[in-house]
Amino acid sequence: MIQDLVRKTEGFVEMSIDKSNNLVRVIGAMDMTLLTTALRTK
């Protein structure tokens, strides 16, 4: 679910997930405020 939302965000380039540390690293030129708001609503 998070992966789909991040991948659909304009400016997305790459994403890596570290489940052991509960960390998602996203690379790209995105509007972080918009992405954060979208993740909080989901």
| Local confidence pLDDT in tens for the 42 residues of the chain | 788 888 888 999 999 999 999 998 999 999 989 888 888 987
End-to-end CA distance of the chain: 8
Structural domain that includes position 36 = 2-41
Question: How many domains does the chain contain in total?
Answer: 1
pTM score: 0.63
From residue 19, how far is each of 2, 11, 15, 23, 37 by CA, in Å? Answer: 13, 24, 13, 6, 22
